[in-house]
Amino acid sequence: MIKNKIFKAYAERNLCYIAARKMIPKGIVVHSTGVNNPYLKRYVDCEEEVGKNEYGNHWNVEKPDGRKVCVHAFIGYAKNKKIKIAEILPLNICCWGVGQGNKGSYNSSPSYIQFEICEDNLKSRIYYKKTFKIAKNYCVYLCGKYNIDPDNIVSHREAYLKGYGSNHGDPEYWMQKYNDSMDKFRKRVRKKLKAGKLI
């Protein structure tokens, strides 16, 4: 059950949470973090679920790392190296994830649910498989819940190419190491959605 892997740990001090701009999700943006740190505690302020962030550099601050940034969720290691999904924003408010493109931004025009998969050193096939499987199941769950067509699941890179995000390459540079792609990812989501199995 994917729902058992989700916990909420809202970043209530983050300026994005405070702005609380309402949204109705029209799609999903998949990100990966771009740094080698697969532990949720780096980003998520919820000691009981993820352990203690010794540095206080999680995203439950006004501006994480000095930037106006926030996403809806992170996927990575919780306590005991269990891979979980931490929702740090309610899914009905806009996040500040994908930046601005030349046509608009999937942050708010139109608004997409956005999550980050915590990267490791990109060398563990097992970690890759596990995190992207959970990402797939999370997308199936979100597509069902918000009636989102899997065609509206994009990577940050695709968001940029479509004109709705800043110029980033995540997470394809990771996916291609394992002969994976967003097309294949969407196909897997669609297949599971069609199967209609409870996940």
Name which of 136 and 192 has its Cβ closer to Zn ion: 136
Specify the pairing of strand 112-117 against strand 27-32. Answer: parallel
With a CB cutoff of 8 Å and minimum separation 6, the contacts of 130 are 83
Name which of 70 and 193 has its Cβ closer to Zn ion: 70
- Check residue 98 and report its DSSP letter: S
Helices (H), 39-96: 47-50
The residues of the shown chain that bind Zn ion, judged by CB under 5 A, are 31, 156, 168, 170
Closest to 137 in 3D by CA, of 199, 197, 88: 199
Q: Shortest approach of Zn ion to residue 9 CB, angstroms?
A: 20
Q: Shortest approach of Zn ion to residue 198 CB, angstroms?
A: 31
Q: Shortest approach of Zn ion to residue 29 CB, angstroms?
A: 7
Name which of 81 and 181 has its Cβ closer to Zn ion: 181
Name which of 30 and 142 has its Cβ closer to Zn ion: 30
- 173 token code pair: 């540079």
Find the farthest-apart pair of alpha carbons in the chain and give their distance in angstroms, rounded: 44
Closest to 97 in 3D by CA, of 39, 195, 28: 28
Q: Shortest approach of Zn ion to residue 97 CB, angstroms?
A: 7
